[in-house]
Structure 1
Amino acid sequence: MNQPFTMGRRALLSAGLGALALGLTACAGDDPPDATVALDTPLAESVPSGTRLVIGDKEHQKAIEFSGEAKKLTFEVEWANLSGGPQTLEAFRARALDLGSVADIPPIHSHWTGIPTRIVASKFRQDPLEHAIYRLGIAPGVAVASLADLRGKKVAYSPGQAQGALVLRVLRKAGLSKQDVQLIELPSTGDVYANALASRQVEVAPIGGVQVKRYEGKYGKDGATTIAHGLRDDPGHLYAPITVLADPAKAAAIRQYVQVWARAWRWREANPDEWIDRYYVKDQGLTAEDGRWIVANAGVADIPPSWADAISRHQETIDLLAEETGNKPLKAEDLYDRRYETVAADALAAGGA
């Protein structure tokens, strides 16, 4: 009999990277199997008893719980309180995490830093240019009205993260090179970019979500602005180390999680008022107005039944990053575990939350 979903005693792992490296090595369970195990073995329909996953899907975890989808998981889950490329990569390295939620750059960066991973679920945004995740924040008093005006500016840059890749893509679109601007390496977590803009530590930085609204509202009177970059910035993925995916039990559990993950996205879109109140207001401490702005700006999630277009776009990003960073080119196809390609879309077609 499969074990029911449980939060476990250590439901929230520390987000501190030092703690991950020092104290959480055993959190992801037993040592993973040999990575040479073939990843083309068909996924099991049921999850073996005793299976456990540590999952870092910080925001969507709440949608899975609120929607009731968490009750459908037949394996033990430990939620890790971390998100983003650097944190998930460090947790993978420490064997403290089985599955993480990121944009399109961390799966590339993981291969370049010696931790091969595979993507198991992908979502995008319908009308991705209208519902972009990021805008370029412009520091108070800095004259930037178009991408061409970036020349000579101090631009926030975070290697290994989606914002860093976006900066490189924006420069290319503007006909500029890295030498035409001054890249300032900063982590893109929390309020770092907004604060750096306000203090003029940087003059341009990609900011997203409610940070856009707050930045414009707080510093607009001082001359702060934001501008659209006009590029797609909408990929969102679940990914896991190949050592985890080579474990048949964990691979089956991930399949079940992907199904729940997809249905919870549709629940969020069908129940915006409840989502705003329970997550953005009561859990995150935002105002209802901020929550409504985030939901409206996010648009509708596109969870395609085929990854062909996504892989093609991912290859373009890989080629750009390899050229700009000197890393070895990769095949985008190798970043995806195609066994999961239709899992999310099939779950939506079958109905659920």
Structure 2
Amino acid sequence: MIMPVASGNIAARAQEPAPLLATVPPGTKLVVGDPQTKVALQLSGLIDEIPFEIEWTNLSGGPQTSEAFRARALDVGSVAEIPSIFANWNDLPVRNIAYREREDPIGHPIYRFGIAPGVEVKTLADFRGKRIAFSPGQAQGALVLRALQAAGLAKTDVTLVELPSTGDAYPIALASHQVDVAPIGGVLIRRYLNQYGADGATVIEHGLRDDPSHLYAPQWVLDDPAKAAALAVYVEFWARATQWVNDNPEAWVEGYYVKDQGLNQEDGEYLVELTGKQIVPANWDEVVARHQKTIDLLATELGYEPYSAEQIFDRRFEPLGATALAAR
């Protein structure tokens, strides 16, 4: 289990940063863990326009990127909402430098709650008394806590079963009745119903926002003027790649889901529909406010020390993605 640790003086680590350099100094290099964007940049041809060297690593998600940050082997990674929050609780100072969300987050959620075959769950209120798969330091874990809060339930009203949400671990746990409820996402939703629907497996909507997507970087990288300048340019290309995916769903299915990920055409089309369009907001005020609610909830439920969400956002980067799109 991830144990609460002292947050340290997070405020002291988030000093007012120096302005970003207008140009990237010659010889600057970034090590980037953002596999989806790499493919989008390649398919769109935008990768040839990036004016500095990038070493791409096939890393994504909080556990992998945090480990690479600690080893000083990665400059920036792509994650959801939770990793930057927990990193700072676990003495890894990181900050979010880019943000995107789904245009219709309720209609296009990342996760749905899978229900084990034969278990009667129609609404979040039906979670009472159920065994729920729980991964404390990951987005799925936070979603479980938010779902309980929305249903007016406490942790004591359910049994949280700690399981890492890697691969198809949650669908397997549901099918084998290790748990009654588990958040599952992406193509696993479709596969779970296809494999176990005949046995009575179901999924339900949660009606909550679960769509944040970030680039984040360690404080020591952001404190390096040359790397910070390169990150600013990368954020612009990241936003342009996001828009290219929105505008070219068929090419994205073929180039990413089929050729890069090895999925079939039908799965790729399903995932494009599941995602909908993604947008890059020019203002983070609402984003930071939502993060604050998440921090406060996790602190209360898991025994951590709350802190200001502003401390994990580097506002120097706030307008860059939207500005790059507006200039197209």
Task: Classify the TM-score, shorter chain.
Answer: over 0.9
Write the deviation string for residues 172-195 of structure 1: whole angstroms up to 9, x where unpaired: 111111111111111112111111
2:305 counterpart residue number: 328
Letter in 1 for 2:285: A
**Whole-angstrom CA distance in 1 between matches of 2:105 and 2:14:** 37
- Deviations 1:226-259, CA, capped at 9 Å, x for gaps: 0001100010000001110000010011001100
1:208 paired with 2:171, answer: no
Q: CA deviation at 1:117?
A: 0.7
Determine what percentage of the aligned residue pairs are the same residue.
59
Which letter does structure 2 place at the counterpart of 1:118?
R
Query: Superposition RMSD on alpha carbons, in Å?
Result: 1.3
- Determine the C-alpha separation between the residues in 2 that align with 1:258 and 1:42: 16
* 8 A contact 2:14–2:311 mirrored in 1: no
What displacement does 1:202 show?
Answer: 1.4
Q: Aligned equivalents of 2:111 and 2:304: distance in 1?
A: 26
Residues 96 and 312 of structure 2 are in contact (CA less than 8 Å); yes or no, is this contact kept in structure 1?
A: yes
Q: Which of the numbers 127, 152, 177 marks the counterpart of 1:175?
A: 152
Q: How does 1:44-59 map to 2 (within 5 A)?
A: 44-59=21-36
- Show CA shifts across 1:20-42 (max 9, x none): xxxxxxxxxxxxxxx97955211
Comparing 307-316 with 73-82, which one deviates more in the overlay? 73-82
Q: Residues of 1 paired with 2:104 and 2:15: CA distance?
A: 37
- 2:88 is aligned with 1:117: no
Tell me the secondary structure at the aligned position of residue 59 of structure 1. Answer: helix
SS at structure 1 position matched to 2:32: strand
Paired position in structure 2 for 1:141: 118
Contact 1:156 1:183 in 2 (8 A): yes
Of the three residues 160, 167, 173, the one matched with 2:137 is 160
CA contact (8 A) 2:110 2:275 kept: yes
Residue in structure 2 matched with residue 83 of structure 1 by the alignment = 60
Partner of 1:105: 82
Letter in 2 for 1:296: E
Aligned twin of 2:9: none
Q: Which moved more, 1:70-79 or 1:240-249?
A: 70-79
Equivalent of 1:256, from 192, 211, 233?
233
Query: Distance in 1 between the 2:13 and 2:80 partners?
Result: 26
Separation of aligned partners in 2, 1:159 and 1:37? 25
Q: Which runs of 5+ in 2 are unaligned?
A: 1-11
Q: Distance in 2 between matches of 1:39 and 1:56?
A: 26
Deviation digits for residues 303-350 of structure 1 (CA, Å, limit 9, x no counterpart)? 111000101111111110110111110101111000000000000001
Q: What is the CA–CA distance in structure 2 between the aligned matches of 1:76 and 1:134, rounded to whole Å?
A: 35
Instruction: Report what 2:247 is aligned to.
Output: 270
d(CA) in 2 for partners of 1:344, 1:241: 19
In the alignment, the residues of structure 1 paired with residue 133 and residue 49 of structure 2 have an alpha-carbon distance, to the nearest angstrom, of: 42
* Deviation of the 1:265 alpha carbon: 0.7
Mapped pair 1:221 → 2:198: yes
**Native 8 Å contact 2:40 2:244 kept in 1:** yes
Task: Tell me the distance in 2 between the aligned counterparts of 1:251 and 1:264.
Answer: 20
> What is the Cα deviation at residue 148 of structure 1?
1.3
Q: What corresponds to 1:305 in structure 2?
A: 282
Structure 1 segments (4+ residues) deviating >2 Å: 35-40
TM-score by length of 2: 0.94
CA distance in 2 between counterparts of 1:265 and 1:36 reads 31
CA offsets per residue over residues 262-292 of structure 1, 9 Å max, x none?
0001111111111101111111111111111
CA contact (8 A) 1:38 1:246 kept: no
Partner of 2:4: none
**What amino acid is the match of 1:255?**
A
Query: What CA deviation, in whole Å up to 9, does each residue of 1:62-91 have, x standing for no partner?
Result: 111111111111221111112111111111
Question: How many matched pairs?
Answer: 317
The 1-side partners of 2:136 and 2:220 are apart by 25
Structure of higher RCO (CA pairs closer than 8 Å, 6+ residues apart): 2
Give the Cα separation in 2 of the matches to 1:85 and 1:344.
Answer: 22
Counterpart Cα distance in 2 of 1:36 and 1:125: 31
Q: Following the alignment from structure 1 to structure 2, what is the Cα–Cα distance between the partners of residues 306 and 133?
A: 22
Q: Which residue of 2 aligns with 1:70?
A: 47
For residues 84 and 15 of structure 2, what CA distance do their matches in structure 1 show? 19
Match of 2:267 in 1: 290
